[in-house]
Amino acid sequence: MVNPTTRERASVQELIAKAGNNKRKKVIEKIIPIILFLIAGVSVLTTIGIVATLIFETVTFFRQVSLLSFIFGTEWLPFSNKEPKFGILPLIVGTLKITLIAVVVAVPIGLAAAIYLSEYASDNARRVIKPVLEVLAGVPTIVYGFFALTFVTPVLQTIIPDLKIFNALSPGIVVGFMIIPMIASLSEDAMSAVPNAMREGALAMGATKFEVAMKVVLPAALSGILASVVLATSRAIGETMIVSLAGGSTPRFDADFTGSIQTMTAYIVQVSTGDAGYGTPIYYSIYAVGFTLFLFTLLMNFLASRITKRFREAY
C-alpha cells in the first residue's frame, strides 16, 4: 500500500471508485450475451427453416408418388407424357460415379501435396504453393464446368475414342481437381499440427524423412486427414455446375463412365431452370431429390465427426 500522505492526488483505488465504471459494465455484461445469442440464433433458424421446407414439400411429393417406387425404382423419367417414373436410383448412381472418380483423383494428389507441403517444402516453396492452391479452391465452379466440357472432354476423347461429349469421366476428374485444395490444405494443417518433437524422436533413431512422414506424421494426423477426405467427398456429392455442364442429363442406372449421366444436383438445376408448373409432381420431385441429397451430406458430416473421434491419436 502506497502511503497516501506522500502525494497530492487521491489513491488509484479512490479514483476507480469515483469513476463508477462498475454499474455500466454490469449492464453491458448482461446485454452482450443476449445480443450474441440472437445473432447466433439466425443461422440456427435458417437451418431449421430450410429443413422444414424440404420436409414439407417432400411429404407433399410422396402423397403423389409412392415412397417405395422412389427409393427402389431404377428408372427416372419425370418428363414422360405417358407414365412418369420417379425412381431415384439412376440419379444416385450418377452422383456416385462423379464422387468415386473425384475421390480417386483427389485423395492421392491431395495427400501427396499435403505431405510435400508439411514435410518437405521450404518456407519459400510453401509461401508460393499454398496461395496457388487456395486460388484453385476459389475458382468459380462454372469455370471448372466449361473447362471440363471444352477442354478435358476433348483431350480425353483423343485417348478414349468412345467417350461421348457428355460423360461421367470428365466432370468426375474436374470435380476431383476442385476438391484437391480442400484435402491438401486441411490435411496439411493436420500434419503441421503434429509436434516436431515426434519427428525428432523418429529422426534420432535413424528414420529417413519419408519414414517419418509415412509412419509417424501420417498416422498421428490421420483423424484430420480422414475428416478432410470426408468433407471433400461431401463437396463432390453436392457439386452442381460442373456436372450440369459436362455430365449431361440422362439419368442412367448402369456402371458406364463414358456416356451421359445425370446427378441429383443436375436434375434439380434442370427442373429449376425449366418450366415445371407449380404443384406438379415434377415440381415437388426436386424437393424429394434435394432431401435425399441433404441426407447424403448429413451422413458424410456425421461420418466426419465420428472418424475424427475414432482415429484421434492423443498427443
Partner 1 sequence: MVQLMNRTDNETKATVSPMEAPVREAAKPVVYDTKQLNLWYGSHHALKNIDLPIRENEVTAIIGPSGCGKSTYIKTLNRMVELVDGVRTSGEILYRGRNIFDAKYSVEELRTRVGMVFQKPNPFPKSIYDNIAYGPRIHGIKNKKILDEIVEQSLRGAAIWDEVKDRLNTNAYSLSGGQQQRICIARALAIEPDVILMDEPTSALDPISTLKVEELVQELKENYSIIIVTHNMQQAARISDKTAFFLNGEVIEFDDTDKIFQNPADQRTEDYISGRFG
Interface contacts to partner 1, rule CB under 8 A: 195, 197-198, 200-208, 211, 215-216, 219-220, 313-315
Residue with cell 512422414: 213
Cβ-based nearer residue to partner 1, 108 or 195: 195
The smaller minimum CB distance to partner 1, of residues 215 and 309, is found at 215
Helix (H, G, I), strand (E, B) or coil at 73: coil
Nearest Cα residue to 107 out of 169, 182, 213, 170: 182
What is the closest distance, in whole angstroms, from the C-beta atom of residue 266 to partner 1 in the complex?
43
Q: How far is the CB of 216 from partner 1 (least distance, A)?
A: 6
**Residue 223 CB, nearest distance to partner 1 (Å)?**
10
Three-state DSSP state, 47: helix
When the beta carbons of 206 and 274 are compared against partner 1, the nearer one is: 206
Residues composing the chain: 315
Q: Is the dihedral of CA 172, 178, 179, 183 positive or negative?
A: positive
Shortest separation between residue 221's beta carbon and partner 1, angstroms:
10
Which of residues 37 and 315 has its CB atom nearest to partner 1 in the complex? Answer: 315
Packed helices 21-64 and 281-310: angle between N→C axes, nearest 10 degrees: 130
Report residue 119 CA to chain centroid gap: 25
Q: Which is nearer to partner 1, 223 or 244 (CB)?
A: 223
Question: Rounded to whole angstroms, how far apart are CA atoms 10 and 15?
Answer: 7
Residues contacting residue 225 through CB under 8 Å, at least 6 positions apart = 111, 114, 186, 187, 190, 191, 218
- 10 phi and psi angles, rounded to 5 deg: -70, 160
* Residue number, 169 or 226, with CB nearest to partner 1: 226
| Partner residues linked to 85 by β-bridges | 77
The residue (of 255 and 314) whose beta carbon lies closer to partner 1 is 314
Minimal distance in Å, beta carbon 217 to partner 1?
Answer: 10
Least spacing, CB of residue 206 vs partner 1, in Å: 4
CB-nearer residue toward partner 1: 11 or 208: 208
- Output 222 or 269, the one with its CB closest to partner 1: 222
Q: Residue 204's CB: how many other CB atoms inside 10 A?
A: 8
Beta carbon of residue 210, minimum distance to partner 1 (angstroms, whole number): 10
Closest approach, Cβ 230 to partner 1, in A, equals 21
Whole-number CA gyration radius for the chain: 27
Contacts of 194 (CB under 8 A, 6+ apart): 216, 217, 220, 221, 315
Beta bridge partners of 77: 85
Q: How far is the CB of 74 from partner 1 (least distance, A)?
A: 47
3-class SS at 30? Answer: helix
